[in-house]
């Protein structure tokens, strides 16, 4: 099939490459000239494991091209909308500018029978509105809402072998003509047994909002338990092990620490609350306000713990922050808790040095006032305290003995609870975790 992918960011670039890998002829379209130039030379404009290799592999087949020219969409059977829906400035709602612009630029190029597929995370009601625009343009064309659940750092595998497909079609019926078209697009993963659900438009949109809300709630739940553990002298990691053995609960997404960040969970739960408010269902989601508040409290808690660790004052203390990305295997620093903590510490008088294997360039753009150091060993030299805030493999595997001679004081705050406290204490370090005595 010939496929258009509009928006070549974290979602679209991966989607375009993966669709070409599945055997389709794909054109990726983006308004950002620089991004298109990089992708056209098989360079990923951001760090995502396996993406660059995949881009090289599929571009050699000639099945994947990139352009800034929307007219290249003409002739495709399926058009995916993969642009961002960031949080509006100063408001909780989602900024729909990019989705609306993509739809209106695309529609003049669609042909009878084409299928337009929305993948961006949008407020419920968007699909019905866009479906009307598609029908007005081309009465035999259809709009499907097909939410994306990929995780950064695992985006290629999550796109090629997703847990499930959700197709939201206007009548919610398996017999809707667009269902068969999307089945052809996803024939390979469907053939390998990936389940797919056909729903109406609003259900498909809500599946994404609900899934991200559930994940955020799970993380804030365990972080709330961490607060109680801190107050009572209990250990949240053992508590999570024990409740996670109940398979109704499960151990995944119960890692207590500095909380969630990134381009999705924080803004998605806020946009969901805002949309529920518009629909008169705001009471249903008031708990998400608490989920958000628990999450933000973790950042303040780390600043307080660091102060405690540094004998009661941050003034002039040299603090090394290990990790700037919102999670490992990513260079994404959007709403990164690590960076927000680093900035807070600096504002309170600490001398902060931030290191990260991939995210320093992006971090420096967002927080130019912070000090960044590529070389981790340089970064920790003469530090009064280390803060492990993004659990990159190389930080998990640090040797406490090897670092002793580098730092001014052997003190470490493990913001992700990934180090072995016994090992670090045995080596002479003052170790603090989150939600652990
Ligand atoms: C998330 C959803 O998982 C994905 O399905 C959706 O499509 C987009 O949003 P992503 O933002 O890539 O994906 O990251 P995810 O792995 O979900 O982690 C989100 C944040 O939660 C990270 O900051 C991570 O460090 C944090 N987290 C995750 C925890 O603090 N504890 C956990 O147990 C799990």
Show binding-site residues for NAD(+): 30, 35, 85, 121, 152, 267, 334
What mean pLDDT comes out for the span 256-260? 98
Q: Residue 330 has which token pair?
A: 């990513």
With respect to CATH, is domain 2-194 assigned 3.40.190.10?
Answer: no
φ, ψ (nearest 5 deg) of residue 224: -65, -40
Pocket lining for ligand 1, CB < 6 angstroms: 148-152, 212, 215, 219, 253-255, 257, 259-262, 264-265, 326-327
φ, ψ (nearest 5 deg) of residue 43: -110, 135
Q: What is the pLDDT of residues 376-427, one digit of tens each?
A: 999 999 999 999 999 999 999 999 999 999 999 999 999 999 999 999 999 9
Q: What is the pLDDT of residues 42-99, one digit of tens each?
A: 999 999 999 999 999 999 999 999 999 999 999 999 999 999 999 999 999 999 999 9
Atom 14 of ligand 1 has which residue's CA nearest to it? 151
Instruction: Identify the DSSP state of 73.
Output: G
Question: Reduced to 3 DSSP states, what percent helix, strand and coil does the chain have, rounded to the nearest 5?
Answer: 45, 15, 40
- Tell me the pLDDT band of 437, cut-offs 50, 70 and 90: confident
Atom 27 of ligand 1 has which residue's CA nearest to it? 260
Going edge to edge, which strands form the sheet with 430-433? Answer: 371-372, 351-355, 318-322, 385-388, 411-414, 430-433
Catalytic residue (one of 8, 82, 229, 264): 264
Contacts (Cβ under 8 Å, ≥6 apart) of 304: none
Contacts (Cβ under 8 Å, ≥6 apart) of 165: 146, 182, 186, 189, 190, 194, 195, 196, 197
Q: Which atom of ligand 1 is nearest to the CA of 155?
A: 12
Residue 418 CA, ligand 1 centroid: distance in Å: 16
CATH 3.40.50.720 domain range(s) in the chain: 2-194, 200-437
Task: Tell me if residue 264 is catalytic.
Answer: yes
Residue 260 CA, ligand 1 centroid: distance in Å: 6
pTM of the model: 0.97
Q: What length is written for the chain?
A: 437
Strand-pairing partners, residue 3, are: 26, 78
Residue 223 CA, ligand 1 centroid: distance in Å: 14
Contact (CB, 8 A) for 94 and 271: yes
First to last CA, the chain: 58
The CATH number fitting domain 200-437, selected from 3.30.360.10, 3.40.50.1100, 3.40.50.720, 3.40.50.300: 3.40.50.720
């Amino acid at each position: 099939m010939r496929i258009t992918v509009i928006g070549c960011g974290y979602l679209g670039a991966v989607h375009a490459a993966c669709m070409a890998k599945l055997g389709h002829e794909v054109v990726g379209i983006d308004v950002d000239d620089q991004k298109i130039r990089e992708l056209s030379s098989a360079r990923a404009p951001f760090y995502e494991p396996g993406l660059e290799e995949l881009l090289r592999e599929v571009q050699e087949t000639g099945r994947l091209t990139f352009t800034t020219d929307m007219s290249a969409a003409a002739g495709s059977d399926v058009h995916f909308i993969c642009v961002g829906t960031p949080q509006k400035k100063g408001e909780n709602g989602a900024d729909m500018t990019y989705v609306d612009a993509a739809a209106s630029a695309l529609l003049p190029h669609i042909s009878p029978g084409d299928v337009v597929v929305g993948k961006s995370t949008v407020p419920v009601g968007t699909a019905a509105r866009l479906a009307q625009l598609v029908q007005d343009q081309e009465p035999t064309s259809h709009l499907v809402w097909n939410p994306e659940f990929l995780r950064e750092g695992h985006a290629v595998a999550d796109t090629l072998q997703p847990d499930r497909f959700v197709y939201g079609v206007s009548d919610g019926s398996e017999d809707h003509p667009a269902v068969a078209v999307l089945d052809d697009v996803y024939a390979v993963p469907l053939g390998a047994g990936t389940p797919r659900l056909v729903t109406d438009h609003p259900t498909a949109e809500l599946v994404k909002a609900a899934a991200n809300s559930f994940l955020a709630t799970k993380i804030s739940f365990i972080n709330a338990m961490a607060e109680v553990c801190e107050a009572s002298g209990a250990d949240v990691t053992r508590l999570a092990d024990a409740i996670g053995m109940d398979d109704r609960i499960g151990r995944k997404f119960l890692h207590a620490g500095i909380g969630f960040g990134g381009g999705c969970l924080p803004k998605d739960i806020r946009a969901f609350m805002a949309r529920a408010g518009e629909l008169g269902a705001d009471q249903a989601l008031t708990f998400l306000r608490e989920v958000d508040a628990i999450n933000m409290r973790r950042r303040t808690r780390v600043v307080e713990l660091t102060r405690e660790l540094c004998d009661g004052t941050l003034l002039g203390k040299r603090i090394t922050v290990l990790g700037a990305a919102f999670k490992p295997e990513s260079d994404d620093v959007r709403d990164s808790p690590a960076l927000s903590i680093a900035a807070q510490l600096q504002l309170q008088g600490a001398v902060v040095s931030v290191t990260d294997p991939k995210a320093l360039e992006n971090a420096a753009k967002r927080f130019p006032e912070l000090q960044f150091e590529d070389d981790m060993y340089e970064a920790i030299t003469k530090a009064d305290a280390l803060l492990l805030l993004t659990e990159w493999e190389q930080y998990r595997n640090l040797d406490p003995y090897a670092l002793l001679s580098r730092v001014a004081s052997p003190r470490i705050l493990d913001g992700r609870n990934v180090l072995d406290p016994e090992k670090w204490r045995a080596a002479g370090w003052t170790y603090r975790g989150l939600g652990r005595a």
